[in-house]
Homo-oligomer: A and B are copies of this chain.
Amino acid sequence: GDDCAVLPPSRRRRLVTVDPVVFGEHFDDNLPPAAAGAKLMRRNLSDIAAMGGRPSAAVVSLALDPSVKTAWLRQFYRGLAQTALRHGVRVVGGDITRLRGGLAASLTLVGEASPARVLTRSGARRGDRLFVTGELGGSLLGKHWRFEPRLAEGAWLARQPAVRSLTDVSDGLAKDALPLRPAGCVAAVDPARVPVSAAAQKLSRRDNLPPLAHALCDGEDYELLFALDGRADAARFETAWRRRFPKLRLSRVGVFAARTPAGFVNLGTFHGYEHFR
């Protein structure tokens, strides 16, 4: 009801992220409105997870054609609000406006940085190992909206001093690993270690592209991708992970190195699906 939402003061740094969902781009009539609303919230939650933070409050901006039904809107908001509630996020404000012939919703999520630190995309050094959570590829079959933002995992990673940089996989591992590269290094991935999802296998049976292509290029996985100090004991780190997150697969997929090791793929020279044609 007021001109602004009011958030309490905080001794921690604030994180702010904004991501939209647009009809025809991020969802369409095949997706129930509640799922589209949930996706909007989850996309932004994943950005907070990718900095090791904790989400706190959101504002939503809706632009829609007058023909959009109230029932649609109610379901959309319900999906958004339920997802918010489950992650302790208060939806504190918003705005609705008219957009002829379209439907675009943008959410701004405010969070708090971990007291440990803010994990960014930069910080990796030569010799650091590249890890990814979960399984990759084929998100189009459902994961693109049903994914679980890796908030607990991101917060835990922020507390591990050997973790040097972090991001989430939104455009596909092949693209998202590149901004993490230290200067003078390649991002080299061992194809045998890439965690290919069952959905990627399924899509590959349809389109005859290798499952690995889907895993590396599909995007919208919303898994965490991070660099571990090359001098750290990786096996021990993996044990600590399994103890803390026994149900979530963790894969040591590659390394930042001066040259591409034999049998590895240099993601910098990797051009998406084309690589496999």
Stretch from A104-112, A209-217, A237-245 contacting the other chain = A104-112
**Which residues of A in the span 45-79 have a Cβ within 8 Å of any Cβ on B?**
46-48, 50-51, 53, 57, 59-61, 63
Is B61 in contact with A2, judged by CB distance below 8 angstroms? no
- Please tell me if the beta carbons of B2 and A51 are within 8 angstroms of each other in the complex: yes
Contact B179 A51 (CB under 8 A): no
Assuming A18-B59, A108-B18, is B98 touching A101 (CB within 8 A)?
A: no
**Chain B residues near A168 (CB, 8 Å)?**
3
Is there a chain B Cβ closer than 8 Å to A175's Cβ? no
Q: Inside 8 A of A47's CB, which chain B residues have their CB?
A: 3-4
Q: How far is the CA of A111 from the CA of B11 in the complex (A)?
A: 16
Contact with B along A1-32 (1 / 0, CB 8 A): 11111111111111111111010111000000
A94 within 8 A of B: yes
Q: With the chains together, A19 CA to B101 CA distance in Å?
A: 20
**Which of A81-89, A113-121, A191-199, A259-267 has 4 or more CB atoms under 8 Å from chain B?**
A113-121
Q: Is the Cβ of A63 less than 8 Å from the Cβ of B106? A: yes
Which B residue's beta carbon lies closest to that of A14? B7
A167 at the interface (CB under 8 A from B): yes
Contact assessment for A25 and B97 in the assembled complex, using a CB-CB cutoff below 8 Å: yes
A99, CB-defined interface residue at 8 Å = yes
Q: Is A16 a contact of B7 with CB atoms below 8 Å?
A: yes
Q: Contact: A19 with B98, CB < 8 Å?
A: no
Check if A93 sits within 8 Å of B18, measured CB to CB: yes
CA distance in complex: A60, B18 (Å): 7
Flag if A108 contacts B16 (CB, 8 Å): yes
Q: How far is the CA of A18 from the CA of B111 in the complex (A)?
A: 16
In the complex, A37 Cα to B228 Cα: how many Å? 42
Q: Are B2 and A121 within 8 A (Cβ)?
A: yes
* A59 pairs with B16, CB closer than 8 A: yes
Most buried by B among A4, A11, A102: A4
Check A61/B121 contact, CB under 8 A, given A3-B167, A179-B1.
no
A-B contact pairs, 21 of them (CB 8 A): A2-B120, A4-B15, A4-B48, A4-B53, A5-B16, A5-B17, A6-B13, A6-B15, A9-B11, A9-B13, A16-B93, A16-B108, A18-B61, A18-B94, A19-B61, A19-B95, A22-B63, A26-B97, A102-B102, A104-B104, A108-B108
A-B residue pairs, 3 tightest by C-beta: A108-B108, A3-B50, A4-B15
Question: Can you add 14 more A-B contacts, CB < 8 Å, to A4-B17, A17-B93, A101-B101?
Answer: A1-B179, A3-B47, A4-B53, A5-B16, A6-B14, A7-B13, A7-B14, A16-B59, A17-B59, A18-B61, A18-B94, A22-B63, A25-B99, A106-B106
